[in-house]
Amino acid sequence: MKIIVTGSLGNISKPLTIALVQKGHTVTVISSKAEKQKDIEAIGAKAAIGSMQDADFLAETFKGADIVYAMETLGEGFFFNKNLDYMAAITNIGKNYKQAIHHSGVKKVIHLSSIGGHTDKGNGMLAFHHNVENILKELPDDVSIKTMRPVGFYYNMFAFIPTIKSQGIIVSNYGSDDKEPWVAPVDIASVIAEEMEKPFNGRTIRYIASDEVSPNEVATILGEAIGKPDVKWVVVSDEQALNGMIAAGMNPQIAKGLMEMNASRRGGVLYQDYERNKPTLGKTKLKDFAKDFAAAFNQ
Ligand SMILES: NC(=O)c1ccc[n+]([C@@H]2O[C@H](COP(=O)([O-])OP(=O)(O)OC[C@H]3O[C@@H](n4cnc5c(N)ncnc54)[C@H](OP(=O)(O)O)[C@@H]3O)[C@@H](O)[C@H]2O)c1
């Protein structure tokens, strides 16, 4: 099949492209950077250089494709871009995808959404995923959409490194012995590659997770991996968490969105729909990711 992969050679899209090429599909990878072309071609895919912020480029690239994998991103470091209205920017990308899918005539879409995509209430920053899910739902009924809702990515834990280094602690406005799900991008890529070859029927939703561990277990497992078994997960108030992120230079709208997202993890509120639609867990466990964490910590 002819498949379009957005997300360049990113965390999900690189292993996804490799898997699809290995299965014999013709894959076009969208990157915003011309210098990525040779790396994309080196893994046996074609490159389309342009931006997901450009609806005409997307429509032209999608023409003739059997399936499009669509993900939204605002690029590296956007948390610290103080002039950004992330909600408006992501909504715009969602509208671009809708327009491009409609104009190109593509009938099968796999959309990367997120845990929290089921609502725009009380989930903070994740409300943008709900917005984009709703924008794509406006496409005509003959466009089948598989909505992927992965949980939090392990790589978010790299943000714990500074306070572990300075104080031996992980700091957040939630924490407990209650287990919560985490996922490895490579496991998301496997699920998406599998979904590419299964039938598309209307609109479907699939949650994706790799492991379930509590915040206190995260502290222990990461601490042991870096040779600091005393690392503790420390809970602060919403206000302290928000002020800490703003003091670190984060865009205030994003800091508020992250604080509210983490608040919704308390008592598992964020996970209510996941609990009703639990997936089989993927292969990559937190103990596997802890090796990457240790390497980054010691760099
Ligand atoms: N973090 C989480 O816990 C979490 C949870 C659920 C869902 N998600 C979703 O997962 C996404 C991240 O997936 P990922 O880790 O696979 O992505 P990623 O590796 O962070 O980024 C994918 C690539 O997209 C390309 N890109 C950036 N801006 C672009 C633009 N304007 N036009 C075209 N391409 C552009 C960049 O490559 P080039 O430089 O080559 O263009 C970038 O490396 C998030 O954006 C979010 O929607 C995240």
Residue ranges covered by each domain of the chain: 2-154+181-209
What's the pLDDT score for residue 11? 98
What's the pLDDT score for residue 183? 99
> 242-267 pLDDT, tens per residue?
999 999 999 999 999 999 999 999 99
Nearest alpha carbon to residue 149 among 171, 178, 123, 176: 123
What's the pLDDT score for residue 106? 98
Any idea what DSSP says for residue 266?
Answer: G
The mean pLDDT value for 202-215 works out to 98
pTM for this prediction? 0.98
- CA 228 to ligand 1 center in whole angstroms: 31
> 146-168 pLDDT, tens per residue?
999 999 999 999 999 999 999 99
What's the pLDDT score for residue 155? 98
Atom 25 in ligand 1: which residue has the minimum CA distance? 7
When the pLDDT of each residue in the chain is averaged and rounded to a whole number, the result is 97
Tally: H helices and E strands in the chain: 12, 12
Atom 20 in ligand 1: which residue has the minimum CA distance? 10
| Domain 2-154+181-209, CATH | 3.40.50.720
Give 154-192 as a DSSP string: GGGGGGGHHHHHHHSEEEES---S--EEEE-HHHHHHHH
Atom 30 in ligand 1: which residue has the minimum CA distance? 51
> 92-136 pLDDT, tens per residue?
999 999 999 999 999 999 999 999 999 999 999 999 999 999 999
- CA 184 to ligand 1 center in whole angstroms: 14
What's the pLDDT score for residue 258? 97
Residue % of the chain over a pLDDT of 90:
99
- CA 10 to ligand 1 center in whole angstroms: 6
Residue found under tokens 């071609």 = 41
